[in-house]
Amino acid sequence: MRYLLFMILLIAAPAVAGQVVEVQNLKITGAPDRDTAVIMATKEAAAQVWSQLNPGQPLPPLSAGQLAELTTYVDVTNETVQPNFYAATFNLGIRTSVLTGVPEPEPDQPSAAADATTPSWVLVIPAREQAGRIQIWKSSDAWESAWMRAPSDRVTTAVAQASESDSKLLTADLVETNDPVLADRVRQLARKYTAPAVALVILRSEETELKAGQEVNVAVLYFDINSHAQTTQDSPVFIPPSAAQTPYQPVLAEAQRLLADMVQGPQMEADSLSADSVNSFTPSGQPGLSASYQAPAGPEPASLTAPESSLAVRIPLSGPADLHNYRSKINSIPGARFEISSLNRTVVEGNIVYSGSKESLLRELAQRGLPQN
C-alpha cells in the first residue's frame, strides 16, 4: 500500500502577493519515486500558502506549467529510497505571485472529456461510528492503523492522515448528517492529494475495541472524481474465534472487497454444481443472522482425508445483505472459501471449498450460526 502522510506546515511569514513564502518540514511518505514526491510536496505547500492568501477557499487545480513556476527552491533531506517507495522531508520556496494569478474555481460540472477508465488508486479515509456518532481523522485509532499496515489487494490504496486544513474541510458532522456539501468537500480533498477516487470507509461497532465473536458493520462511501459518480455499500462482518489476535483483519478484508467491487465490478468464481449433491441454507429467525444447514442424503464420500473437501450449496436470499452475511461467515472459517457459480436476487449457488474434512467444516458452520439439521 502507498502511504500519504501530510504534516502541519510552518509558514515562515504572512503570505503577501509578490513574496516568496518558505514552507518548512513538509514530510512526504510512500510516493513511488522522487519526482512524484516533489510534485506532491509542491501541491501541498501551494495549498497551505493559498489558504493564507484566500482563507476558506479551496485551491483550484494547477497546470503543469504553474507547478513548475511555483517554486524558487526545493531542499530535500531525510531521504528513504526503496523499490516503489520514497520518503523525504522538504523545504520549499513558493512564489505567491503565481498563486495570485490562479483563476477562482468554477462550480464542479461533469466534463464530456472526463476519463472513464478505472481509477489507478483510491485515497482511503477511515472512520468509526458508535451510537450514531462519527469519529474521523483519528491517527491513533486501531481501524486507521489496520489500513496503514494493509497490503494492496485488488485496488491500490493510500491512507491520508489529516492536516489541520483536512480536518476542517471534512468533518464528522458532515458525514453524520450526509450534508449536501459532503461530495464537494471530498472532491476538494481529492484535488489536494491528486487522487482519482476517494473512499470513506466507516466501521460501525457497539464497542470501541473489537474482539472475536462480535458482528460489526463496514460501509464504503466511494467517490469517483472523474465521473462524479458516488456509490455506497455496506456489509455485516462476523469476527471468528480464529481472529482473536487480529480482530480487524476480517473487517479490513471485507472492506477491501467492497471497495474493489465498487471500483472494478464484482468478481465471482465459477464452479460446476452437481444436481445430486446440493446442500441448502434455509434462513430462519432474523434474516441473515441464523440459518440451518441441510446435508445431502446418502453416505458421505469415502475420501474424508483428502487435502480439500467441497460442499455444493444453494442459499435462498431475502435481500442483498444475506449474501454478504453468509459469505462473510463462511469465509471467516480458516481454510474455507465460498466459490459462487450462479447468483440472482433470490438464490445463490456455489461450493464451499475447505482444507479439511466435511465433519470439521460442519462443526465450523454450526459455530457461526449455520448448524446442521
Do 137 and 47 fall into the same domain? no
Predicted pLDDT at 266:
67
Q: CA quadruple 247, 253, 258, 263: dihedral positive or negative?
A: positive
Do 161 and 260 fall into the same domain? yes
In a domain, 114, yes or no: no
DSSP single-letter state for residue 265: -
Do 80 and 201 fall into the same domain? no
Predicted pLDDT at 78:
87
Counting the structural domains of the chain, the total is 3
Do 279 and 228 fall into the same domain? no
Residue ranges making up the domain that contains 152: 122-264
Do 290 and 340 fall into the same domain? yes
Predicted pLDDT at 5:
38
Cα atoms in the Cβ-side hemisphere of radius 13 Å centred on 187: 20
Q: What is the CATH number of the domain that holds 317?
A: 3.30.1370
Do 259 and 288 fall into the same domain? no
Non-local (6+) Cβ contacts of 359 within 8 A are 304
In a domain, 190, yes or no: yes
pTM for the full predicted model:
0.48
Alpha-carbon span 110 to 118, nearest angstrom = 17
Predicted pLDDT at 222:
93
- Per-10-residue mean pLDDT of the chain, 373 residues long, equals 40 48 84 79 85 78 74 84 81 81 51 56 90 85 84 76 80 86 87 85 90 90 84 88 89 90 67 42 35 39 54 74 75 80 67 84 82 55
